[in-house]
Amino acid sequence: MKNSFLFISLLLFLSLFLISCSNSSNPVNNPATISNNNSSVTPLLKGGFNEFGYNYGARIFNGPADGVDKILDGKVWGDPTYANDNLVMKWTADWDRGIAEDWSKPPYLSAWEDNEWNGKVPNGSGQVWHYKIIWVGSALENSPYWRTGGYSVWDQFEVIMDQGQDPSMGPGHIWFAHATPNGF
């Protein structure tokens, strides 16, 4: 089951990566971004939430997981299993910067992403999961930013928290990663 949860997390990252590249990271494509010399600033809350559940100015997604792939069809990447689950994703400006630079100009010390799934909704999956992911660099476990208790993903990142509940795995709470420290 851990692999299916990691797969969901990977899909969320890919969605965030693709959508951020085409919308929030590129000042030309995002009128909410104000350019000034060589820097850009995205005003918070500019524009509010779109029909899919994204608020790029606030760097948050909040809504049914159906909208995360930007296709409102009762499915998430073609699979209806998690479409009705509520999903909250949050990420930082440094995460957007890393995406815009293809993670090629480190360090990204404040780059993190947070995913919270709640499948205890009508017609939901019944699963509840919370992931926290940080940039640690290509040295991974040998990085000075690595935290004990996490696991590596995507060649430069550490999952510092992966925990939740899955009714198919029995009652109780499951932890796959609980790094120390666990906060961003």
Say whether pLDDT at 31 is over 60: no
Q: Beta 128-135 vs 151-153: how paired, if at all?
A: unpaired
- pLDDT at residue 152, rounded to an integer: 97
Structure confidence by residue, pLDDT tens digits, 114-145: 999 999 999 999 999 999 999 999 999 999 99
Task: Report the C-alpha gap between 121 and 84 in whole angstroms.
Answer: 7
Q: Residue 84 to residues 68, 75, 125, 178: CA-CA distances in angstroms? A: 11, 8, 8, 27
Structure confidence by residue, pLDDT tens digits, 44-92: 445 699 999 999 999 999 999 999 999 999 999 999 999 999 999 999 9
